[in-house]
Amino acid sequence: MIPSAETGANSDALPLVLLVGTLCDERLFAPLVERLGDQPVVYGEMSGAQSASEQAARILLGAPERFALAGFSLGGIVALEIIAQAPERVVGLALIDTTPRPDLPANADSRRVAVGKARENGMDDYILDAWDKLVSPANREDQGLKATVLDMARSAGPDVLASQAEIAINRADSRKRLAAISVPTLIAAGQEEAVCPLEAHQDLADGIAGSRYVTIPAAGHFSPLENPAALAPHMLEWLGRVQGTSQSHKTGPGKLGQGASMSESDTSKSKGTPAQRKDNPEQVLQVERRDFVDLVPTDRPRSQSLSGFDEIYTDIVDYIVRCTHKIWDERDVGLIYTHYTHNSVVYGTLGTIYDRETVVRDTIQRLVTLPERRGMATHVIWKGNDVDGFYTSHMVTGTGRHTQYGHYGAPTGRVFNTRTIADCLIFENKIYREWLVGDNMAIIKQLGLDPHAFAEKLAKAQFDKGLVALDIGENRRLLGQYPPEAEADLELASNDIERETLVWMHEVFNKRMFGKIKDVYASNVQYHGPMLRELYGVAAVTHQYLGLLGSIPDASFMPQHICSVPCEEGGTKVAVRWVMEGHHLGYGMLQELGDPTGKRVQVMGMTHYHYKNGKIVDEWNVYDELSLLMQIKLAQLGDFKPEREDAPEH
């Protein structure tokens, strides 16, 4: 028998039903439950049946009318059966180190033989024989972890193992049913998972629209025990989304699956899943297909845990879209004081701002110059939670007219369009670090200004402050006579699509394998580039990158951050912030730079990719050619050496 977890203090919260894996009990989830605060939790019975569908039906007999559901390993397999049998009762699904795939026919005999050996030799051998496969290499020598897993297995015994083996053997192929799941779904797997392959988790992510897939570092199959601190923030974020979809529920401690009744006070039983009910938005909104008024609603309940954020915000996308609009379009510049920390740093392509008051002044100056500017959210790609903080990559398409005197000079009356991406680190309603890349050259050209004169003015302002870009020699893309690093550094990535992105970018930009582009881009790809270039096809993308590296042929490509979100349009969107560093040694797309000057330049860029069916179908690429021109002008000012006053006459 599995003892019940203690119900948390929050009696109004939706109950969370937890399903453990083979030979596990509540100790599997204990370190995780401790981090979930006052979340009420009950455990489902995970033995006694002869198939996953039968076990699911037993659990549903005693389950609340509606509940959140999380399953680990075998528990995840049963969880998929539960939501297939009673989708109207499950309002959120978390699948941890599990698989939607059926058991291989050949496994039946080996599973039953293993049960016989466990009866004969004891449970320790069953665990120890598989230990190296069960946990991450980093945790194999963790004696406390090993003792916990062994003790759970001894407590369960061979009879439970025999029942659980039959549940695993007699399970359905859930992959064909995934598309029907429409509740907030979290998919989590240890990065070193060797029991339920990561490919199976990708099956889940691909099959469940809007699901969020994360991998847990320093963890294998037992991620809830190996690294609960890394898993907990994702569970809290998921529970925040789930609670935003549901009415309050009350429950007491209990165990499900043996006919133990669990009542709840909610008597409103709407037909259909939460996603089908208009009063239950169940997840973070996405920008692409929604009108502005839908992105900043006045009557939407909070759908994501946002502890410390202003009450008006319902999720992190609402936050970044709404506060940007209020500051820039509604002219509530003073909101910067409540939305930026006093020591916030804004890294821009034309300079860096180191404090909040300067952010206020800079915003006012930009509004003075372009009072008719409007910035429309194009997409928001994000990661994080309110415990560790959020990261957002927010693309804005700007449009307006130059009607006032300001840093662009006398008004020209001309209209303009431009793209900007802002990457922000956010904690408790405040941005504390921001990277800002705007296509300033596009504005200069559309206003009819001279890029060289404008870049010289910017460079002179920096030069008068004593700033001169110094050449630092090799950028270490090549170390002496060695070729570029053979493998990409993947430490920034948190899932497979992010790792794959970093790999091909390293191949193209550092190893110069431009033929790789045809393997990762769809044949009908659309490229949305600097200077508002709208191009189509693999050849166009290849030419753009050949041209960029043609101007800076020794450039080193360094990714700085990567994150991804599933896309409502299908597939996944990935945001990459990157830096390229090298010298102006050649000709290419950067025509305004003119003949090669040999000057060192640094490009900070941001790119959003849309993947569908494993290929990139859209790319939005933003870097600032004006910044590069300004860097060259600044370096040339540093070359100038005025004559000394005491120099002899010629």
Lowest mean pLDDT among 380-389, 498-507, 574-583: 380-389
Tell me, what CATH number does 532's domain have? Answer: 3.10.450.50
Q: Does 270 reside within a domain? A: no
Q: If you compute the radius of gyration of the chain from its CA atoms, what whole number of angstroms results?
A: 28
DSSP string, 297-334: -SSPPP-S--TTS-TT--SHHHHHHHHHHHHHTS--GG
Task: Calculate ∠ Cα 92-95-97, nearest 5°.
Answer: 165
Task: Report pLDDT for 642.
Answer: 55
Which among 229, 256, 283 is the end of a domain? 256
d(CA 648, CA 560): 52
Mean pLDDT of 237-266: 50
Q: Which residues of 365-404 are buried (b: 16+ CB within 10 A; e: fewer)?
A: eebebbeebebebbbbbbbbbbeeebbbbbbbbbebbbbe
Q: Does 610 reside within a domain? A: yes
> pLDDT band at residue 263, thresholds of 50, 70 and 90?
very low
Does residue 290 register a pLDDT over 80? yes
DSSP state of 471: P
Task: Report pLDDT for 495.
Answer: 85
> pLDDT band at residue 467, thresholds of 50, 70 and 90?
confident
Whether residues 85 and 231 share a domain: the answer is: yes
Residue 344 gets the label, from left (phi > 0), alpha (psi -120 to 50) or beta, of beta
Sheet architecture: strand order including 415-427: 351-353, 340-348, 430-438, 415-427, 389-401, 374-385
Whether residues 343 and 424 share a domain: the answer is: yes
Task: Calculate ∠ Cα 430-431-435, nearest 5°.
Answer: 175
Whether residues 77 and 149 share a domain: the answer is: yes
Does residue 10 register a pLDDT over 60? no
Whether residues 72 and 208 share a domain: the answer is: yes
Q: Does 264 reside within a domain? A: no
Q: Which residues of 62-84 are buried (b: 16+ CB within 10 A; e: fewer)?
A: bbbbbbbbbbbbbbbbbbbbbbb
Q: What percent of the chain has pLDDT over 70?
A: 90
Whether residues 242 and 311 share a domain: the answer is: no
Mean pLDDT of the chain: 87
Q: Does 287 reside within a domain? A: no
CB 584 within 8 A of CB 601: yes
d(CA 140, CA 133): 9
Does residue 502 register a pLDDT over 60? yes
Q: Does 457 reside within a domain? A: no
d(CA 499, CA 490): 6
Task: Report pLDDT for 286.
Answer: 87
Whether residues 310 and 194 share a domain: the answer is: no
Domain boundaries, position 57: 16-256
Does residue 288 register a pLDDT over 90? no
Whether residues 411 and 503 share a domain: the answer is: no
Does residue 267 register a pLDDT over 70? no
Q: Does 602 reside within a domain? A: yes
Mean pLDDT of 17-25: 96
> pLDDT band at residue 483, thresholds of 50, 70 and 90?
confident
Does residue 11 register a pLDDT over 80? no
Tell me, what CATH number does 235's domain have? Answer: 3.40.50.1820
Task: Report pLDDT for 12.
Answer: 63
Better-predicted residue by pLDDT, 546 or 641: 546
CA dihedral (511, 515, 516, 517) in degrees, to 10, reads 110
d(CA 607, CA 578): 8
Look at the chain and report how many structural domains it folds into: 3
Whether residues 187 and 299 share a domain: the answer is: no
> pLDDT band at residue 113, thresholds of 50, 70 and 90?
very high
Q: Sign (positive/negative) of CA torsion 391, 8, 215, 520?
A: negative
Whether residues 534 and 631 share a domain: the answer is: yes
Task: Report pLDDT for 428.
Answer: 95
Whether residues 23 and 148 share a domain: the answer is: yes
Whether residues 444 and 502 share a domain: the answer is: no
Mean pLDDT of 394-418: 93
Whether residues 514 and 626 share a domain: the answer is: yes
Q: Does 487 reside within a domain? A: no
> pLDDT band at residue 250, thresholds of 50, 70 and 90?
very low
Task: Report pLDDT for 283.
Answer: 61
Task: Report pLDDT for 641.
Answer: 54
